[in-house]
């Protein structure tokens, strides 16, 4: 869950893990620790047609989630980090 502030509501103020409620470190509008941000828009033929979901997971909760996958996630080294 993300909270924003500022005139246009575009400065990141707070990020809370939707799973464990851990408050993640934010400084000067930037997230300062690992976080998985999920955005999903459900389309036709789903049980949630036209519904949008947004959520955040701390790194620990993300690791717990993917450890239960029957097919492991693909992992590769990123050469360049983008903010």
* In the chain, domain spans: 2-66
pLDDT in tens, 41-50: 999 999 998 9
pLDDT in tens, 29-38: 999 999 999 9
pTM for this predicted structure: 0.83
Distance from C-alpha of 37 to C-alpha of 3, rounded to nearest angstrom: 13
Distance from C-alpha of 66 to C-alpha of 58, rounded to nearest angstrom: 12
Specify which residues 1 forms β-bridges with: none
Distance from C-alpha of 19 to C-alpha of 38, rounded to nearest angstrom: 12
Kindly state the DSSP code that residue 72 receives in the 8-state scheme: P
């Amino acid at each position: 869950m993300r909270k924003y502030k500022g005139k246009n509501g575009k400065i990141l103020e707070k990020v809370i893990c939707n799973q464990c409620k851990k408050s993640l470190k934010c400084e000067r509008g930037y997230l300062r620790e690992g976080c998985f941000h999920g955005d999903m828009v459900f389309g036709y033929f789903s049980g949630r047609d036209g519904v949008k979901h947004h959520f955040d997971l701390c790194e620990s909760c993300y690791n717990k989630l993917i450890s239960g996958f029957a097919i492991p996630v693909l992992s590769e080294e990123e050469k360049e980090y983008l903010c």
